[in-house]
Amino acid sequence: MSRKLFTVGPVNVEPEVLQAMTKPMITHRSKEYKALHGAIIEKMKKALNTDQDIFMVGGSASIFLEGAIRNGVQSKSLGITNGSFGLRSIEIGELNGKVVDKIQVPWGTAMKPEHIAGKVGKDVEMVHWVSNESSTGVFSNSTALATEVRSQNPDALVMVDAVTSAFAMDLKLKELQPDALIFGTQKALALPPGLAMVVVSEKMMDKSKTVSNKGFYTDFVKLKKQNDENYALTTPPVSLMYALDFQLDRILKEGMATRYARHQEMAELVRNWAKKNLYGIFPEEGYQSNTIGVLNRGKLDFDKFHSALKTKGYEISNGYGEVKENTFRIGHMGDITSIRVKELLSVMDETLEEMQ
């Protein structure tokens, strides 16, 4: 039976997209490579509506969470967190020898400007947070947070982990003006895992020139020098780039406004279902993710429920982190449509009935 993934990532990849990976290999020092690299960057900028530089390297998204901190912070950053992935960037900073001040916002609630009031001192070089917290399904307003950061310390850089929001929810990059915004291929781009991307600002590049011990692989100065020539710094996953190029054409054909609206529609279907049939959803009203529904488990025997779904060919995701035991997650991002979400929900209805 084919697998129907409603997971938080990696997500389902359409057969025609997978097929695009099978084109003959080329070397990354060829004219064909330059054309491919240049086309991808141009299409990503168009889709995300930004003029900022975008770098890509082989690796999962965390490589650029680490890279952005290593390029943007010599000594001290401030991490705001409302879940597992906010903690991830804080840990990365600490493991790289930085001092990281931490602001903990309750799990399930959004990070808001008032949480950082008076907290961005002159010695804070970067403030980082997650746009769409995948453990709790909370989508915070990154532009409001960035504006607050800059009002307190105009020199502080803003790093946004957009791993589960980019390409599914409109991050309005021209307003947000992120200094680093990070995502990967295996979430709303609906591709296999293996490429990480970062949108960078000139301010980030200026800072990177002054920071020491950045390592080699994600040195933004080295990356930019190559990227400006449509080259990669190290050997890139060319096959995955073929699929990315193909997928970006499909995405632009759909249109970003339609894509964002489709994700919202799928999210509303799941939220309404959870309110009607189970115990509602976990995240704060008004700040709910359009890519991940995090549902309260209540009295549901989730393991039994999920096993039954799997025998019917459907896969969803467990809870994560601190709320692992009280929630479960439904991923609805990438190429999934409302029709497929409705199909999943009716199988979930049927399964609940069978469990009674």
Outline where DSSP puts E strands in the chain: 4-5, 53-58, 76-81, 99-104, 126-130, 132-133, 138-139, 157-161, 180-184, 195-200, 292-296, 314-315, 317-318, 327-331
164 interacts with ligand PLP by CB under 6 A: yes
| C-beta closer to ligand PLP: residue 183 or 314 | 183
Cα 230 to Cα 312: distance, rounded to the nearest angstrom: 45
317 interacts with ligand PLP by CB under 6 A: no
85 interacts with ligand PLP by CB under 6 A: yes
**H helices then E strands: how many in the chain?**
12, 14
Restricting to residues 131-150, name those near ligand PLP by CB under 6 A: 134
Q: Which stretch binds ligand PLP (CB under 6 A): 114-122, 148-156, 159-167, 343-351?
A: 159-167
| C-beta closer to ligand PLP: residue 182 or 308 | 182
Report the SS3 class of residue 140.
coil
163 interacts with ligand PLP by CB under 6 A: yes
Restricting to residues 181-220, name those near ligand PLP by CB under 6 A: 184
Cα 45 to Cα 200: distance, rounded to the nearest angstrom: 12
Min dist. Cβ of residue 151 to ligand PLP (A): 26
| C-beta closer to ligand PLP: residue 60 or 96 | 60
Side chain identity at residue 287, one-letter code = Y
Question: What are the backbone dihedrals phi and psi of residue 313, each rounded to the nearest 5 degrees, phi first?
Answer: 95, 5
130 interacts with ligand PLP by CB under 6 A: yes
Question: What are the backbone dihedrals phi and psi of residue 327, each rounded to the nearest 5 degrees, phi first?
Answer: -135, 170
161 interacts with ligand PLP by CB under 6 A: yes
Min dist. Cβ of residue 185 to ligand PLP (A): 8
Q: Which stretch binds ligand PLP (CB under 6 A): 35-43, 59-67, 68-76, 340-348?
A: 59-67
Residue 93 burial (CB count, 10 A): 26
Report the SS3 class of residue 239.
helix
Q: Which of 45, 60, 76, 113 binds ligand PLP (CB under 6 A)?
A: 60
Q: Which stretch binds ligand PLP (CB under 6 A): 160-168, 220-228, 274-282, 304-312?
A: 160-168
173 touches 179 (CB < 8 A): no
Burial tier of 55 (Cβ tally within 10 Å: 0-12, 13-18, 19+): buried
62 interacts with ligand PLP by CB under 6 A: yes
Min dist. Cβ of residue 183 to ligand PLP (A): 9
Restricting to residues 9-38, name those near ligand PLP by CB under 6 A: 9
Helix or strand run (H / E) with residue 298:
none
Min dist. Cβ of residue 92 to ligand PLP (A): 10
Which residues bind to ligand PLP, rule: CB under 6 A? 9, 60-62, 85, 88, 130, 134, 161, 163-164, 184
